[in-house]
Amino acid sequence: MIQTIYIERQVADHPRAREVLARFPAAQRIDCDRYTEIFNPKNQNFRLQKQQPALIIAHKFGKRVLSAPEGYGIGGQHNYYFSHMLNCIYDCRYCFLQGMYRSAHYVLFINYDDFFASMDRTLANHPSEDVWFFSGYDCDSLALDPVTGFATHLLTFLESRQRAFVELRTKSTQIRALLAAPAIPNAVVAFSLTPTETADRFEHKAPPIAKRLQAMRQLADKGWPLGLRFDPLIFDDAFEERYRRLFEEVFAALAPQSLHSVTLGAFRMPQRFFRNLIRLYPSEPLFASPLQNRSGLVSYSKTREEEMIRFCLKELTTYVPPERLFSCSADTRQHGNPPVQTLQAAGVPKR
Amino acid sequence: MRLVTALTPEALPLIEHYRLEQVDSDPLFPLYRNDTIYLVVSGIGKTLAAAATAYLHTKSGELPNQPFLNIGIAGHHRSIAGAARVANRITDQSTGQTWYPPQIIRDSMERSALITVETVERDYAEDAAYDMEAAGFYPIAWRASSAELVQSLKVISDHPGESVAHLDLQRIEGLIGNCFDEIDGLVKALQDLAGIVVSTTPEPYRLEPFVERWHFSVTQRHRLRRVLARWAVLAKGEDPLTSVPSGCPSARHTIEALENALLAKPLDLHAEVARPLPKLS
């Protein structure tokens, strides 16, 4: 799997780094001073690196917990995000990471305790109030968990901090750490889903939808709060038929009571990232399909987006109570770095 | 494929195997080529290597995303004379600057750190290979191409137990020639990798038939280029001009006509996309 591991010299003796290295005894190890020497230089090709990404083990300096954009959330008032990893083992053609980063290598920040200390400081800034922390924007929260072990550390942290709520967003079926732990109400495991044909076509290397649903059922049986993330919604002529079937498939497998939240968002991306994607995949019909630049964000036309969201909301309200449904739009998000979505309760129309 | 060697004896086995022919009779640097491969002989040292790499890029048409490979002999801390090593870290000893050629190609070849020195290395202090060109070659080739496609392969010629003083031109030629299979494997792998990028760009429709009929501003030309690029993906084989009404009054209306025509076409993102065969040059 991983054939090359870059490791910052300062973390070379960190016990967690040694554990990770021990998992890949055949990998070549290359020492470096800072991960940015490998990750940030220009003239790298994300697509080519996806052929054989390396792992970079690093220490995260600076701000580890960042404010989510204004208006972002799934019901909470105080919303933040963090990334213990950069990049993802899957290769989803629509993913903004391809446009945002120059390198496809996986960066793992192993100073988990510093992330938790930052979360504690954030909690202290909001005494007596719930605070949401979103994971899974710059990486898949669980896909590399058998290697990183991050989930286990996070759950231990969350057990004693009931005001701290975390969303783990994933397409992965790597749920062993969750199944091994008692379910806690302040960790929502949110699965990204697209219709089966769409997943087959665009979500390279990700587990099939049926496997994700199977993982969700296992988690639901153990009492874990679940999230459904229909984001991005991808349009083509069979959009309604595909998504209707997907919702049928999902709710045949899952009881609505197990769901904490369901969110929707049409495909959208900062224009700079989108340009990079076209350079990487000039023949990709998804990027040639009718999209518009809406104030710096490339997305479907407002009319089309509204139609897509309206259709999905109508379908979903037959399964899920409206207070658990959230949608987002190109018009209601902040520009800049991800997280890219601004979510609003579907029960309160925003337009 | 663009090859850079420092010495003629390093180049000779490659010239012979790839049947390369000299390009100019009186060039700035000796330059050889066949249909798909260019080779330049730089001379010794990183400055000449940098200059020759730039020269090679210019003389071979300045095409983007071309693979570049630096091939030559190097000393090493370990007694591994005759072994080939691909550089996974290149350090310019005089400046301390370091580059990390991405390790994308899956093969069985051994890797090594590579230190570029100003004068012949006799101490071999670090567990690394020592050469005199890679730190000149790499940043220029990287600028001309993409990092993944730029690599350096060294055949170990000397080490603490076998001094560089014992090297002669025949021995150098032999060392490179004996590693030709490894070199050729890397050449092919780099060509395949480059093919991924080169082969997927659809043939664009020409702007000329449009700009000859309507006046396009600079911004409108960008829009036209973009809509024609989309056309090449979504309506391949159809002439876009046929979707523009003959009496179309302006460039703006022309672009809108093309965009509307694309909008009206059936959109099935799930159909298999036909991929053209990779080009290997």
Do you know the residue count of chain A?
A: 351
* Model pLDDT for residues A124-179, shown as the tens digit of each residue: 999 999 999 999 889 999 999 999 999 999 999 999 999 999 999 999 999 999 99
pLDDT at B277: 42
The two structure tokens encoding residue B19: 């049947």
- Nearest by CB to residue B262, choosing from A52, A201, A290, is A290
Query: What Cα–Cα distance (Å) separates residue A120 from each residue in A68, A117, A125, A203?
Result: 17, 5, 9, 35
Architecture per CATH, B2-198:
3-Layer(aba) Sandwich (3.40)
- Nearest by CB to residue B103, choosing from A37, A43, A54, is A54
Nearest CA to CA, how far is A286 from chain B (Å)? 6
Residue A5 at interface with chain B, using a CB cutoff of 8 Å: no
Domains belonging to chain A, first-starting first, are 4-345 (3.80.30.30)
Residues B111-116: what's their mean pLDDT? 97
Query: What Cα–Cα distance (Å) separates residue B135 from each residue in B68, B101, B176, B271?
Result: 14, 11, 20, 46
What's the CA gap between A222 and A200, in Å, rounded?
29
* Model pLDDT for residues B175-189, shown as the tens digit of each residue: 999 999 999 999 999
Given a contact cutoff of 8 angstroms between Cβ atoms, the answer to whether A210 and A223 are in contact is no
Interface test with A, best of B150, B255, B270 (most A CBs within 10 A): B270
Residue ranges per domain, chain B?
Answer: 2-198, 208-264
Residue A290 at interface with chain B, using a CB cutoff of 8 Å: yes
Q: Do B269 and A41 touch (CB under 8 A)?
A: no
Residue A196 at interface with chain B, using a CB cutoff of 8 Å: no
Provide ipTM, 2 decimals: 0.91
Given a contact cutoff of 8 angstroms between Cβ atoms, the answer to whether B133 and B46 are in contact is yes
Q: Radius of gyration over alpha carbons of chain A, in Å?
A: 20
pLDDT at A332: 59
Nearest CA to CA, how far is B168 from chain A (Å)? 33
Task: Annotate A223-292 with three-state secondary structure.
Answer: CCCEEEEEEEECCCCCHHHHHHHHHHHHHHHCCHHHEEEEEEEECEEEHHHHHHHHHHCCCCHHHHCCCE
* Model pLDDT for residues B73-106, shown as the tens digit of each residue: 999 999 899 999 999 999 999 999 999 999 999 8
Residue A289 at interface with chain B, using a CB cutoff of 8 Å: yes
A-contacting residues of B 35-64, CB under 8 Å? none
Could you write out the DSSP letters of every residue in B141-186?
HHHHS-GGGEEEEEEEEEBTTB-GGG--HHHHHHHHHHTHHHHHHH
Q: Do A30 and B100 touch (CB under 8 A)?
A: yes
Q: Which of A60, A51, A58 is nearest to A2 (CA)?
A: A51
List of chain B residues whose C-beta atoms are within 8 Å of the C-beta of residue A285: 233-234, 267, 269, 271, 273
Q: How confident is the model at residue B260 (pLDDT cuts 50, 70, 90)?
A: very high
Q: Looking at the predicted structure, is the pLDDT value of residue A334 above 60? A: no
| Residue A19: CA count within 13 A, CB half-sphere | 11
Residue B106 at interface with chain A, using a CB cutoff of 8 Å: yes
Q: Do A288 and B233 touch (CB under 8 A)?
A: yes
